[in-house]
Amino acid sequence: MAKKKTSQTLQVGPSAPGWMVTYGDLMTQLLIFFVMMFALASAMNELQLINLQKKMEQYVKRENLVNDVSFDVDERGLVVSFHGNKMYEKGEAEIKPEALKALSNLAAFVRPQPNEVRIEAHADLTESPGKYISLWNLSSTRASFIAKQLIQNIYFPPYRLSSAGYAEQKPYIKKDGETYKTLEARSADLLKTASSSFFHEANRMVEMNINNQVLEKNKSFEQKYKNDPNHSVLVRMARNNYQGGLERKYAAISLKMKESSVFKDRSEKWAEEARIFFKFADHEVEILAAKEDYIKAQFYDRLQKEIVTMANLSPSQQNRNRRVDIIIARISPKAAKERLL
């Protein structure tokens, strides 16, 4: 009669005390609780901004300001933009009285809330700064003037306010507009030029490596043909053949590297990608990374100039850029609890 098999459990070391299982379950439940609380807080945060936006939009429609005020929610929070001829005269820092009234009334919706508010003022490229010397000073004065007015007119808590001016550097560009599409195409062209400059630097480093390898290999050719009457000719031929082989090998690698999608993305690390293809040493990657940073800095500088120019071509664009953004930040857990001490 066959013996009945019994299952056995192999235990290594002493068994854990019973309380550890309960403790582990408790820690898991606490983790789930805090994750749920975080998700709930994030949802409440978004809901608060949406409710604020709805109230403000109702006021804007009632006062016939739809063409002068726009709303958006991005990573910074709720952005309320005031723009157009009703806001500023060119070169002036003080907001027009009717616009100040509307801005103050909208800011009053935020005053009872714990949100911090950031005021960002802008100028258009064609403005003359006049007594403000530069567009940076002009836009900064615009922002600080509005902060002062909110504190004086509606008693907005000053500790929740901050202001900044961006001159002409952050123009308004509609994401579904023709200007945006044109700039996207232009950005791709500029990035292609930047990647070509990087390929040139990588190939220069490859050339140095080839030369070093040829010099090292030349020693063995000298030793091999040292007793041959045609020593010089044989060494030169061997060296040239060896160098040609290396150049063909690295040229093929270079072509393959240029097809990599990494070089079509400005946020990727190009020097690290080059290391993978050419097996560059650490010190070579450091040099290439410095070159990459410089090339990308040139790319961003050229792109920014294109953005500013193309976003200020028409009077309507200029009016749109001569604006103030009131940014209502999301509530952090700390800000929700703190009040003025």
Domain ranges across the chain: 42-172+315-337, 187-310
Q: What is the pLDDT of residue 330?
A: 86
For 71, residues 6+ apart whose C-beta sits below 8 A from its C-beta are 53, 56, 57, 78, 79, 80, 81
Give one DSSP letter per residue of 32-52, joined into a string: HHHHHHHHHHHHHHHHHHHHH
Listed residue (65, 84, 137, 134) closest to 321, CA to CA: 84
Q: Residue 120: enclosing H or E segment and its boundaries?
A: strand 117-121
Transcribe 225-243 into DSSP letters: TTTSTTHHHHHHHHHHHHH
CATH topology of domain 42-172+315-337: 60s Ribosomal Protein L30; Chain: A; (3.30.1330)
pTM: 0.78
Bridge partners (DSSP) listed for residue 325: 81, 120
Per-residue pLDDT at 3: 54
pLDDT computed for residue 39 by the predictor: 47
Report the C-alpha gap between 269 and 100 in whole angstroms.
47
Say what the pLDDT of residue 36 is.
58
Give, for 78, the enclosing helix (H) or strand (E): strand 77-82
**What is the widest separation between alpha-carbon atoms in the chain?**
109
pLDDT of residue 40: 44
The stretches in the chain having pLDDT less than 70 are 1-21, 23-26, 29-44, 332-341
Q: Which residue has the tokens 């530069």?
A: 134
| Distances in whole angstroms, Cα of residue 284 to Cα of each of 183, 201, 208 | 34, 11, 11
Strand partners, 328: 78, 117
3-state secondary structure of 84: coil
